[in-house]
Amino acid sequence: MRSYLVVPALVLGLTAPATQAQQRSMSPTPATPITALVIHGGAGYVARDALSMEDENAARADLDAALDAGNAILSSGGTALDAVEAAVQVLEESPRFNAGKGAVFNAEGGHELDASIIAGHTRRAGAVAGVTTVRSPIALARAVMEHSPHVMLAGGGAEAFADTRPEIERVPNQWFDTDKRRRQLEAAQSKAQARADTAGEPGRYFGTVGAVALDQHGHIAAATSTGGMTNKKWGRVGDAPIIGAGTWADDRCGVSGTGWGEFYIRNAVAHDICARVAYRGDSLRDAAEEVVNTIVPAAGGDGGAIALDRDGNIAMPFNSGTMYRGWIRPDGSRGVAIFED
Ligand code: ASP
């Protein structure tokens, strides 16, 4: 728990009662700066025996590398925004997660990538949807935030904006291909011949990646990046790039979601978790549990979320059997996990 230094002038009887402006300037200041970081590599349904030891170790190593990347920034006094971008970029580069390299295929056999990022204390945000040639969609989302007057750019417009940013690396769409995702597309398409629509059918592995961080300045940022859902069509956009649905941060709470995006959009999942903390005084844990494990399933959806508050509390609820996740708490304790253990 963070402790606070508050000037107890009134208690000491030294001064007259503070004016409102004085009270504002006396807002709690952390005695000792703390940091915390939580990441995810997607919720889903992976049976223990379906995951080889080699794949499990490789995924755990990627999660550890993402924690290291974010933590290196936080522990040297860097910003939560830089930390979440760095952590997400490690996972975008890994072929094991559904973001960047390794993104799922859409119905046409290509990839359309979504991402968003938000700084809680300024509420500045950037997002891209349906980009096809951007190696790191989270970097482009951040560029939208910092170098455009907009929050969200989509499709050809987002690609045109990327053309104006020399720091944004471009790749051919096939660069995102992996054999595993192609097999998943083939399986989804053969099921689709038997059913009207498999997009949104439970029982999949979602695989989106995300990060939420608290920095030494007491600021929170959140980021999410994804290839969306296998076999998606018609330019489908999920929750990941939608601020308030898949990604949210304010000055006391941040969230990144992973799951069946349509339900995360309909229920404004990421924002709802933080709103419960802000308006009802719910603990982070109660807020995240209620939204992910009651509200989303009651509506017919599934998935998980990672959440973090300004005291460094972390919540990682999921209702899908697995969620690849990792955390570093303010006391430095850290871990990675996949199953419910
Ligand atoms: N939420 C993502 C989407 O609906 C999928 C995921 O979490 O993997 O696009």
In a domain, 17, yes or no: no
3-state secondary structure of 326: strand
In a domain, 91, yes or no: yes
**Confidence (pTM):** 0.89
In a domain, 178, yes or no: yes
Structure tokens at 208: 């989106």
Q: Which one-letter amino acid corresponds to residue 334?
A: R
In a domain, 14, yes or no: no
What are the tens digits of pLDDT across the range 119-160? Answer: 999 999 999 999 999 999 999 999 999 999 999 999 999 999
Give the residue numbers spanning the domain of 43.
36-339
Q: Read off the DSSP letter of residue 205.
A: B
Active site residues: 208
- pLDDT of 92 above 60: yes
In a domain, 20, yes or no: no
pLDDT of residue 304: 97
Mutate to test the pocket of ligand 1, among 239, 263, 302, 324 (most ligand atoms within 8 A of CB): 239
Choose the weakest-confidence range: 36-50, 88-102, 315-329.
Answer: 36-50
Domain at 332, CATH number = 3.60.20.30
Cα(179) to ligand 1 centroid in Å equals 20
Cβ of 302 closer than 6 Å to ligand 1, yes or no, is: no
- Mean residue pLDDT of the chain comes to 90
pLDDT of residue 190: 85
In a domain, 172, yes or no: yes
Strand extents, DSSP E, 14-139: 29-30, 36-44, 113-119, 124-131
Query: Order of strands, edge to edge, in the sheet holding 113-119?
Result: 152-154, 124-131, 113-119, 220-226, 209-214, 36-44, 322-328, 334-337
Nearest to 112 by CA among 291, 196, 28, 237: 237
Angle value at C-alpha 305, between 214 and 130, nearest 5 degrees: 95
In a domain, 258, yes or no: yes
Cβ of 112 closer than 6 Å to ligand 1, yes or no, is: no
Cα(238) to ligand 1 centroid in Å equals 6
In a domain, 31, yes or no: no
pLDDT of residue 206: 75
- pLDDT of 288 above 70: yes
pLDDT band at 318 (very low <50, low <70, confident <90, very high): very high
Which whole number is the average pLDDT over 296-307? 97
Cβ of 230 closer than 6 Å to ligand 1, yes or no, is: no
Nearest to 254 by CA among 278, 299, 221, 285: 221
Atom 7 (ligand 1) nearest CA: 258
Cβ of 259 closer than 6 Å to ligand 1, yes or no, is: yes
Structure tokens at 80: 């939560």
Which whole number is the average pLDDT over 211-219? 98
pLDDT of residue 195: 56
Atom 9 (ligand 1) nearest CA: 228
State how many domains the chain has: 1
pLDDT band at 161 (very low <50, low <70, confident <90, very high): very high
Nearest to 67 by CA among 51, 44, 91, 100: 91
